[in-house]
Structure 1
Amino acid sequence: MTLSRSSAADSTNNSNRSFSAVAGTDHKRKLDDFDASSSTTPDNRHRMKKHEAEPDHMAQQTSVSWRSGENSGFDRSLSSSAACSSSNRPESTRLQIFVRMMSGGKTIVIHADKNDTVEKLHHRIECKTKIPAAQQRLIYKGKQLQNEHSLAYYSIEQDASLHLVARMQSTEHPVAWQTIDDIMYTVSRMYKGEIVRSNINEKLVAFFAMIPPENDHNIANYLEIFSNSSVPAALVMLYASSLERNKSCAKSSVKLFLSSCTALPKIQQNHCLPIVLDFCKLLRKVCPDQKLYITCRNTLGTMLETFDNPGVFNKGNGLTTVGVEIFPFFTELTGLLVNELHQNSGPSFSDFHKLSSFWQHLRKAIEYQVAYPVPIVLPLRNNVLEAEIGHLHRLFGTLLSAMDVCMCRVESTLADKEVGNSEATSSSWSQYLAILKIINSMSNLYRGGKGQLAAMLNKNKASFCTLILKLAKRGDDHQWIFEYKESTNFEARRHLAMLLFPDVKEDFDEMHEMLIDRSNLLAESFEYIAGASSEGLHGGLFMEFKNEEATGPGVLREWFYLVCQEIFNPNNTLFLRSADDFRRFSPNPASKVDPLHPDFFEFTGRVIALALMHKVQVGVLFDRVFFLQLAGMKISLEDIKDTDRIIYNSCKQVLEMDPEYFDANAGLGLTFVLETEELGKRDLIELCVGGKSLAVNSKNRKLYVDLLIERRFATPIVEQVKQFSRGFNHMLSDSAPPRSFFKRLYLEDLDGMLRGGENAISIDDWKAHTEYNGFKETDRQIDWFWKILKKMTEEEQRNILFFWTSNKFVPVEGFRGLSSKLYIYRLYEANDHLPMSHTCFYRLCIPKYPSISLMEQRLRLIAQDHVSSSFGKW
């Protein structure tokens, strides 16, 4: 490899380019590139700027030809017709010397003769730098040169690197400069094939020990010394050496640097990242399949997790987009991921986590750099990331297709329950949900991308829901899933909503204890719950009724049911029943007259959240308008259909009436006002400024209906909703955003969680989930029991279930959704004894009744509401 240079200054600039060009050379040519760059010695190469030409006329037309020699040594042939014709000295005494100024890091090129004195050299330096010779100190191999000696006296060689120490008061970090120079000098000698005793790792450790722990400016300066001295390129080229000892030394040093970077505090790692990126780019060219490159790439991914920048970082005199720099690594990892998905091996958590880190910064870079609105319409023209964005779109399609195959594989595996529940199968799926999250993020960039992903998820709905149930964990970000709610089922949505609650610890020592008098249930419950801290309630609840023997989960389930019946009792004026569905409730606007009611709404929010946390169906349903406000959603006309059918029909008529007829009849005499009645007092409220005098017509009637709905259904209960939400949110994890619980659900989902299934109780399902102790399934008493139960009304059946389990409502999944199977135990008491129950363990104890009539009489007695709702001895 030959470089021709017209001057010493050009020689310096070319040498700078050749060394750093390692990232762009062919792998087979890396040694030649290193030879060319080494001509200026490694320690000067990267920071050289454009220098002034050497004033000595002998240097003006120098031509230098270098080639790589055996054993990685350097053979040099210098020829200069101009120099020879103008000098009587032998060519072998002619020297080119690189002088680095410790202040500012600038390097200059000086030509001299071996027989020149150091004093003469000082004067040549003064001509170039304007630094008085008297203030100069020249250092070579750790020794200061004395003016009276010649350069030959100090054995100064061709291309030697000298350090100019001047005006020390303005020099920053001279020890660090010297340490890095020593590293570069050692690397240069090793590459030439010399055996050196100097230890690069010791110098690296010393260098990192110099970095101050807190000062951000100084940290950047130290790492800039490392980068500007081209240490990364030098170590990578040493690693590419044919000598095994060089390769081993470089490998150890690179690993030491990487581990030293990750050991720094997070804020300091930001300054290391550009250097690690340089290592990655260089190693990718030299050894893309070797472990050192993979280690470096993984380190880069780890550091990117905490790299908080706006998408660019300083490099040289300009700005480099992080996305452009890391795109090749993201492409590489994506290719590996696709191969693993097709092989059904599943990516490791570590590898996928690195891919995710690269993607986050690549996405930020695209958003930062692309001036076009997102989603992007391809093809994209005249953009710095044009090629990357086009290639990324192809990667999106490849990943989407690979995941489609995987989702189909999941569904076929689910058919084989034994295989589907195996640990090995779940392990191969472990990153599927996280991969879908990245695909969703990629889909946001391109027009039509979200539609493609939605179609794939709808096609594989069963698999998608299975992945959610198996893989979605507390603390993860699942918000993206709710863009595809139509691709989920009730169980998946319920699971995601419940992840917002902390785990119920149920540690006896940390439980919040309550002793409640049934005769003063609501007031005493309010004192216990409203006055407790949210952390205390997260520890679990220990519930006991005064003058009753029972304790445990069954008593707690009964308390939840009873206190909710009291809270939502219309006689307490907190809530109103919906006009068309008496099972549904919404806050009573008139409740604001009681100064304690805001506290009671916050208490209610806590109770409902606790009931959901403990998975207790309390039999209460929320009105749609109330639910939508809790979710922070706007109320439409269709939303009030089941709340107030009269207003719904009237508004529907206004909107659907023929425009000409409507206007001809003066808008039916309507104006922008609402007539209200509260506590017997009637009032007219303007829906907008000047509403009393603003007539409704065909053009503004839609606005009229919207304002009417907002003012009639939303505005009157804003404060009650706010207080309820506050209490509810107290029970959620600290990281859960407000309203997030209700946004994850449909109203029908919340119905199922609060009340259970809509269908009548199935006696066959009940029987299928019941086991026996002391009885056999074929005993006549068991046959009588189920026959009597089938004859009862649904309310009587629910009372029997409540007596048995403290659950009055069956979960959406039926009896399999209960936390335990049900049991019928034989009671070894008198054969006319009333049944007993252990609600905590779902046990019903009955004697061996001699006749079906006696059993029916005893069962109907406990089916009465006032009997089924208490504990104690009978």
Structure 2
Amino acid sequence: MSQTTKTLTANHGKNHFSKLTCSSSKMKKVSETKSSKLQFFVRMWNSNTLVIRSLRECGIENDANLQLVGRLRSIVCPKVWKAKHYIVSLILRLCTGKSVIGASTIIDDCFTNYINDSEYFSVSMFMEIPSLLVDLYANGRIAYSVIKDFVKICLNSKDKKLQGVYLEVLLEFCELLRRTGCKSDDRLYVFCRDSFASLLTLVGGVSFHNPKGKVMLRGVFDCVHEIAYKLLRFLDLSMNCPTGEGLSFKVVLDFVKFSDHLRMGLAMHQATSDEFLNCAICYTEGPLFAGVVDQLHIVFIKLLSKMDKCLEVMEDCLVNKKHGKGDGAAVHNGWSHYIIILKVLFHISKFYSSAQEQFWGLFLRRKNVLPHMIVRYVKKTDDHRWLLENRIVTDFESRRHLVMMLFPYLNDEILGYEMLIDRSQVLAESFGYISQAMPRSLQGDLLMAFKNEKATGPGVLREWFVLVCQEIFNPRNALFVACPNDHRRFFPNTASMVNALHLRYFIFSGRIIALALKKKVHVGIVFACVFFKQLAGNYIITLEDIRNADPIMYSSCKQILEMDADYIDSDALGLTFSIEVEELGHREVIKLCPGGESLVVDSKNREKYVHLLIQNRFVTSISKQVSHFAQGFADIISCSRLEFFQFLDHEDFDWKLHGSENDINVEDWKAHTKYLGYKKNDRQISWFWKIVGKMSAEQKKVLLFFWTSVKHLPVEGFHGLSSTLLISKSREPGNHLPSSHTCFYKLCFPPYSSMAIMQDRLGIITQEHISCSFGTR
């Protein structure tokens, strides 16, 4: 027989619990005769076990009937019960001040031998021991090492069932230590709390939908609440400490860990509800969980308010630093923690209907602070996608920084991909190398050289990107079409099938563009809106989207939409929902919808006609080209292609790919140039800048390209280049042509004897067909 239902008697020393029918008032009298450590373990109808310290906690009324059913201890596992009682008696002796030689080792051995078996170990068997150990710890005895050793056993367990049991025990240790008055920085308490968080991660968090989960979630919130108020104090210190030493990174990490677990539990509720967890919700499922949602919202408000003040101080420091005033020039180490805290607050804001507006409002007030934090403190390993949910609070520089984080790491195992390209066959040979490469090999360095040239390095690579992109988007290769009103803008050519390998070339093109973005090379082309939108996953092309791509179609469609209704209903235009197209000398009728050849366009359906016409021209007819380009692009990035393009505005992408649209500013050029062998006031330097100042915009670009292999500057101008430019005095004869080391942005020329000779030599190298083959790169 495994259970007993005998009547409870006054003899509490028997080896069983028993069935009882009596009033709760009588039970209270019985419990008052026992030690304050008396606990009841009640197996509920749903098989969950509750640890009850007070009958009132369960809302049990006077004269209510209780039924207690227990297992005979002698039947389950006598060795385990014996070990448990031995531990209890040993701890009680220690609590009374008695000395026991080797007590710590004895208890550790008992734990090791008997609690690692999930068949026998349970909370109900063990739960009185934590209370006694904490009492022992409060009395300054040996409990510190005993509890720590036991916690280590819990963390090392691989048994999933035992991990769940240990989780409850670790939470019990935390709560008991907190009740005994242990401060939040007590070393044992911190160790137990950290271990509780670690074990939570191992078991995958806690479930919201069962009684044990609610108890656990309440315990997690207590940790969040405790750490949040400690964090508030540290934030106060950080505002008054320029070095940021007041803000403990350990506190920040603890806040992140426990907040994440709490959010996971709340998200389980959110998933079953269409509403936010607003503060009016009343949790009647159990008293242990009541008030968590309200209190979490209070924590959110207080931390958000404190962060507002922190960012205000940070903003003032940045302004002072910009103007060289006071302590503003000091580096504030604590600022790197701010963005971690803000990320947690962002996720919490998702649970409350008005909290998101409050959260983003903080950044609208402190608009200059977030971009600074992103560029300076967001690292590649961070989960930074939340920062792009509201692009209005970021600027181009910060968005560019975040998007660059989407490219994969340069793995040490990837040695690089080597190419040897013939300049006269740059497109065909580049296609061969890049197309046959495995995507993984392209994630490392690209090592390339031109045939019969000694130069290698970053400068040669930049030049190659520019040259290969010129060929990809060259109209004679029929891959892309330039917009009539803006020859820098391109979209796929519907007639690209003239090349049997055209779809493979689109995969190649996608790879090249992604690699150019990864290497931060501005190639001088941009995408038409109709192309960019589809790469970003938006396949609905509007009339305004085609304004640049096809001005004639734009004008015709606009006229149809604005035409007098009576005139268009008279069928004067003779239009049906079908069009005739010609490709490669072959004419074909295409239906815009089923039965389109017999459906006449009138004033009621003309909007549909225009929509279908645009979709056919700019979506359907180039869908294969777009998908293959996207496939090649996705080979290079570490996230989905849609995610990459959705994080950028069309204008952002233009700036990243093309660079600055402004003419080169000579004064900015001079300000970012240093000299080697020359001095700033030497006559050769004076002549040089006078000659450059009189050059055409195209000549300046060619000279810059010869000098650096950069033909299109970043949006920031010369300030955005990776290093300062250098003019060096060479030892060549006085009539020798300039040379360059593009990897180092270094231009070399001899001390010319006259401005006329220098102008002649510079005129030679600024010819487009010459600038690509001169110099030492």
Structures share fold, TM-score greater than 0.5: yes
Match of 2:237 in 1: 343
Q: Pick the aligned partner of 2:342 from 429, 436, 448.
A: 436
CA distance in 2, matches of 1:222, 1:699: 78
Match of 1:409 among 313, 326, 345: 313
Q: Select 2:436's aligned residue among 526, 531, 545.
A: 531
Aligned to 1:388: 292
TM-score by length of 1: 0.75
Q: Quick one: which amino acid aligns to residue 317 of structure 2?
A: T
Aligned counterparts of 1:382 and 1:704: Cα–Cα separation in 2: 55
Work out the number of aligned pairs and report it. 724
Q: Is contact 2:726-2:747 (8 Å) kept?
A: yes
1:286 to 180, 191, 200: 180
| CA–CA separation in structure 1 for the residues paired with 2:69 and 2:518 | 76
3-state SS of paired residue (1:832): coil
Match of 2:204 in 1: 308
Counterpart of 2:133? Answer: 235
| Distance in 2 (alpha carbons) for counterparts of 1:673 and 1:409 | 64
Report SS of the residue matched to 1:844: strand
Question: Structure 1 residues 64 and 816 mapped into 2: Cα distance closer, same or farther (>3 Å)?
Answer: closer
- Distance, in Å, in 2 between the alignment partners of 1:64 and 1:771 is 88
Partner of 1:776: 679
Counterpart-to-counterpart distance in 2, 1:130 and 1:455: 58
Q: CA deviation at 1:468?
A: 0.5
Q: Which amino acid is the alignment partner of residue 164 of structure 1?
A: S
2:657 is the counterpart of 1:754: yes
Q: Does the CA-based 8 Å contact 1:304-1:358 persist in structure 2?
A: no
Aligned partner of 2:728 in structure 1 is: 825
Contact 2:317 2:328 in 1 (8 A): yes
Query: CA separation in 2, counterparts of 1:227 and 1:262?
Result: 19
Q: Secondary structure at the match of 1:474?
A: coil
8 Å contact 1:473–1:499 — kept in the other structure? yes
Q: In the TM superposition, what are the counterparts of 1:118-137 in structure 2 within 5 Å? A: none
3-state SS in 1 of match to 2:291? helix
Asked if the contact 1:548/1:871 (under 8 Å) is kept, the reply is no
Q: Give the corresponding residue for 1:546.
A: 451
Structure possessing the higher radius of gyration over alpha carbons: 1
Cα deviation, 1:267-312, whole Å, max 9, x if unaligned, reads 5645422221222222222224143323322222233334325624
Partner of 2:617: 712
1:473 shift after superposition: 1.0
Match of 1:164 among 54, 71, 74: 74
Whole-angstrom distance in 1 between the partners of 2:680 and 2:205: 70
**Residues 392 and 801 from structure 1, CA distance in 2 versus in 1: closer, same or farther, beyond 3 angstroms?**
same
Q: CA deviation at 1:608?
A: 1.7
TM-score (norm 2): 0.84
Per the TM alignment, residue 706 of structure 1 is displaced from its structure 2 partner at its CA by 4.3
Q: Amino acid of the residue matched to residue 702 of structure 2? A: N
The code of the aligned residue for 2:713 comes to V
From 232, 255, 262, the equivalent of 1:355 is: 255
| Cα gap change, 1:629 to 1:179, in 2 (>3 Å) | farther
Distance in structure 1 (CA, Å) of the matches to 2:80 and 2:567 = 87
Distance 1:795 1:187 in 2: 88
* Of 329-338 and 253-262, the range deviating more from structure 2: 253-262
Measured after TM superposition, the shift of residue 393 of structure 1 is 2.1
Partner of 1:471: 377
Give the direction of change, closer, same or farther, for the CA distance of 1:459–1:827 in structure 2 (3 Å limit).
Answer: same
Counterpart of 2:393, as a letter, is: S
- Give the letter aligned to residue 305 of structure 2: S
Q: Is the 8 A contact 2:462 2:709 kept in 1?
A: yes
* Structure 2 counterpart of 1:355, one-letter code: F
For residue 300 of structure 1, what is the amino acid of its counterpart? F
The answer for the alignment partner of 2:646 in structure 1 is 743
2:522/2:712 contact within 8 Å kept = yes
SS at match of 1:446: coil
Identify which of 182, 185, 194 aligns with 1:298: 194
Post-superposition CA distance 1:736-755 (Å, at most 9, x none): 23432222212222222222
Candidates 13, 16, 19, aligned match of 1:51? 19
Q: Partners in 2 of 1:379 and 1:578 — Cα distance?
A: 56
State how far apart, in whole Å, the 2-side matches of 1:596 and 1:832 are: 49
Q: Specify which of 343, 355, 379 is matched with residue 280 of structure 2.
A: 379
Show the counterpart of 1:803.
706
**CA apart distance, 1:506:** 9.5
CA separation in 2, counterparts of 1:205 and 1:762? 78
The CA RMSD over aligned residues, in Å, is 3.7
Deviation at 1:636, TM superposition (A): 4.0
Equivalent residue in structure 1 for 2:746, among 825, 830, 843: 843
Paired position in structure 1 for 2:55: none
- For 1:399, what is the secondary structure of its paired residue? helix
Given residue 238 of structure 1, which amino acid in structure 2 is its aligned partner?
L
Q: Which residue of 2 aligns with 1:215?
A: none
Which amino acid counterpart does residue 370 of structure 2 have in structure 1? F
Q: For residues 223 and 64 of structure 1, what CA distance do their matches in structure 2 show?
A: 26
User: Does the Cα contact within 8 Å between 1:756 and 1:811 map onto a contact in 2?
Assistant: yes
Give yes or no for contact 1:805–1:842 (8 Å, CA) kept in 2. yes
CA contact (8 A) 2:485 2:548 kept: yes
Q: Distance in 2 between matches of 1:175 and 1:560?
A: 75
Cα distance change on mapping 1:339 and 1:679 into 2, 3 Å: farther
Task: Measure the CA separation in 2 of the matches of 1:459 and 1:473.
Answer: 25
Q: In structure 2, how many angstroms separate the alpha carbons of the residues matched to 1:284 and 1:722?
A: 59
Letter aligned with residue 74 of structure 2: L
Question: How far 1:376 sits from its partner (Å)?
Answer: 4.2
648-657 vs 588-597, which deviates more?
648-657
Which segment is superposed worse, 326-335 or 664-673? 664-673
Q: CA deviation at 1:265?
A: 4.2
Change (3 A) 1:195 1:742: same
Kindly provide the CA deviation profile for residues 71-124 of structure 1, in whole angstroms up to 9, marking residues without a partner as x: x9x9xxxxxxxxxxxxxxxxxxxxxxxxxxxxx9x9xxxxxxxxxxxxxxxxxx
State the one-letter code of the partner of 2:688.
F
Q: Return the match for 2:85 from 175, 181, 185.
A: 181
- TM-aligned CA deviation for residue 535 of structure 1: 3.2
Contact 1:830–1:847 (CA<8 Å) still a contact in 2? Answer: yes
My pick for the range that moved more, 639-648 or 538-547, is 639-648
What letter is aligned with 1:435?
Answer: I
Q: Secondary structure at the match of 2:214?
A: strand
1:413-562 equivalent positions in 2, closer than 5 A:
413-417=317-321, 422-423=330-331, 425=332, 427-504=333-410, 510-562=415-467
Say if 1:850 and 1:397 are closer, same or farther in 2 by CA, change over 3 A. Answer: same
Q: Counterpart of 2:65?
A: none
Contact residue 659 and residue 713 of structure 2 kept, 8 A: yes
Contact 1:577 1:583 in 2 (8 A): yes
State the AA in 1 paired with 2:310: C
Cα distance in 2 between the residues matched to 1:666 and 1:227: 90
Q: For 2:192 and 2:209, how far apart are their aligned partners in 1?
A: 19
Cα 1:237/1:449, change in 2 over 3 Å: same
Aligned partner letter, 2:678: F
The C-alpha deviation readout for 1:496-538, integer Å capped at 9, x for no partner, is: 111122345799x923222111111111112222222333333
Shift of 1:798: 0.7
Asked if 1 retains the 8 angstrom alpha-carbon contact of 2:706 and 2:774, the reply is no
Q: How far has the Cα of 1:227 moved from its partner?
A: 5.6
Give the alignment partner of residue 511 of structure 2, picking from 599, 606, 613.
606
> Which residue of structure 2 aligns with residue 254 of structure 1?
147
Alpha-carbon spacing, 1:775–1:182, altered in 2? closer, same or farther (3 Å): same
Q: 1:409 to 1:621 in 2, by over 3 A?
A: same
Contact 1:583–1:621 (CA under 8 A) maintained in structure 2: yes
Percent identity of paired positions between Structure 1 and Structure 2: 41
Question: d(CA) in 2 for partners of 1:375 and 1:682?
Answer: 58
